[in-house]
């Protein structure tokens, strides 16, 4: 029996098609979770401590046929149009719980994951844990505090001579009084601003770090044991000096970059600690030549990096999914 690659994703996920273009000789099934409850059939059984399942939707796959799973940003299943709106939350919740049971029922030694949802759940929006583990493998990290005490925030600012930044835990959505969408990036924060919003700090945990001076920023995409590092010359544009996600492609060069062997070894050790086979890591190279780890996004995007540098990231993903023993 030829083993198959299962891609668990969203019908709108932009990077899947590029990877699929390198897998034409492979037996691959794309499972769009947003379409799960529309025309699908599935069965799940447990007997004697062993589980089996199959899904059918214009194609059919069972758990015994799968050699690797690419768990690529699957959304919440879409509730079918015929379901009364009173039951939408219930249907959605039951579908999500069923899927969690499905994915966690696998024998993890027999199926290769990129990445398993249990590993994702631990890492996503968990910068403190990431920083702690990065420090343990020997990577430099910013000093970080999380506080609801304004005095602690002021003392932290004083200790770093007013050179600190504020971060948030996740990509939470905020809107202003007019309903306009507000984006929150990494921003430097002054002592005067902490004093201005003194009382507000008590309302929600605030994450502060010492500001890391930048020579360049690095976006490092790791696929198995392959490392694709991109240098982002964020200091060449006022718009991207504090956070390259303000994007200024006309003025900010992106180019392939060779990391020192020692940093590569520590990154691969960190990936093993996190139990993930894919990750998009953000680091800073300081003017003094130090490499500083910021965070890893286990479901990060790489399309623009590949387009600007021609590094074969999609092809590497396809190769690892097709040949998981190479990991």
Cα separation of 317 and 96, whole Å?
A: 26
- The answer to whether the pTM exceeds 0.75 is yes
pLDDT value, residue 245:
65
pLDDT value, residue 24:
85
pLDDT at 239 over 80: no
241 pLDDT band (50/70/90 cuts)?
confident
pLDDT at 144 over 70: yes
113-117, 237-241, 312-316, 322-326: segment of lowest average pLDDT: 237-241
Question: How does the average pLDDT of the chain come out, rounded?
Answer: 89
Please give the torsion angle defined by the CA atoms of residues 194, 200, 204 and 208, in that order, rounded to the nearest 10 degrees: 0
Query: Which backbone phi and psi does 70 adopt, to 5 degrees?
Result: -100, 105
At the topology level, CATH places domain 213-326 in D-amino Acid Aminotransferase; Chain A, domain 1 (3.30.470)
Of residues 183 and 218, the one with the higher pLDDT is 218
> Three-class SS of residue 58?
coil
Taking CA 68 as the corner, what is the angle to CA 64 and CA 69, rounded to the nearest 5 degrees? 100
pLDDT at 195 over 90: no
> Three-class SS of residue 184?
coil
Mean pLDDT of 217-231: 97
In words, the CATH class of domain 143-210 is alpha beta
Query: Which backbone phi and psi does 269 adopt, to 5 degrees?
Result: -65, -40
The answer for 289, left when phi > 0, alpha when psi is -120 to 50, beta otherwise, is left
Give, as one character, the DSSP assignment of residue 140: B
pLDDT tens-digit map of 246-268: 666 777 889 999 999 999 999 99
Mean pLDDT of 88-102: 92
SS3 per residue for 203-246: HCCEEEEECCCCCEEEEEEEECCEEEEEEECHHHCHHHCCCHHH
Closest CA to 276 of 23, 10, 71: 71
Please give the torsion angle defined by the CA atoms of residues 118, 121, 126 and 132, in that order, rounded to the nearest 10 degrees: 0
Cα separation of 32 and 10, whole Å?
A: 5
pLDDT tens-digit map of 284-325: 999 999 999 999 999 999 999 999 999 999 999 999 999 987
Residue ranges per structural domain of the chain: 4-114, 143-210, 213-326
pLDDT at 179 over 60: no
Mean pLDDT of 89-94: 93
Of residues 125 and 190, the one with the higher pLDDT is 125
Cα separation of 227 and 14, whole Å?
A: 22
pLDDT tens-digit map of 29-79: 999 999 999 888 988 888 888 888 889 988 999 888 999 999 999 999 999
């Amino acid at each position: 029996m030829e083993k198959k690659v299962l891609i668990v994703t969203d019908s709108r996920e932009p990077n899947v098609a590029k990877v699929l273009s390198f897998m034409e000789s492979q037996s691959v099934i794309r499972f769009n979770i947003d379409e799960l409850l529309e025309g699908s059939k599935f069965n799940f059984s447990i007997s004697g401590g062993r589980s089996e399942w199959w899904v059918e939707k214009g194609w059919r796959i069972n758990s015994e046929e799968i050699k690797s799973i690419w768990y690529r940003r699957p959304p919440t299943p879409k509730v079918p149009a015929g379901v009364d709106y009173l039951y939408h939350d219930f249907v959605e919740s039951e579908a999500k719980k069923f899927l969690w049971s499905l994915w966690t029922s696998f024998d993890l030694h027999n199926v290769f994951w990129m990445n398993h949802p249990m590993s994702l759940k631990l890492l996503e929006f968990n910068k403190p844990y990431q920083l702690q583990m990065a420090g343990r493998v020997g990577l430099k990290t910013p000093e970080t505090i999380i506080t609801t005490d304004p005095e602690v925030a002021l003392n932290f600012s004083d200790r770093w001579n007013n050179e600190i930044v504020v971060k948030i835990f996740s990509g939470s959505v905020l809107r202003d009084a007019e309903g306009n969408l507000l984006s929150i990036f990494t921003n430097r924060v002054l002592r005067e601003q902490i004093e201005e919003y003194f009382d507000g700090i008590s309302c929600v945990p605030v994450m502060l770090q010492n500001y890391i001076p930048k020579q360049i920023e690095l976006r490092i995409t790791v696929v198995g044991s392959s490392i694709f590092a991109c240098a982002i010359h964020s200091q060449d544009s006022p718009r991207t000096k504090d956070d390259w996600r303000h994007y200024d492609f006309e003025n900010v060069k992106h180019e392939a970059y060779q990391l020192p062997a020692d940093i590569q070894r520590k990154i691969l050790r960190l990936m093993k600690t996190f139990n993930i086979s894919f990750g998009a890591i953000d680091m800073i190279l300081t003017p003094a030549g130090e490499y500083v780890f910021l965070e890893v996004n286990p479901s990060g995007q790489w399309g623009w990096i590949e387009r600007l540098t021609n590094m074969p990231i999609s092809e590497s993903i396809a190769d690892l999914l097709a040949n998981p023993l190479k990991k």
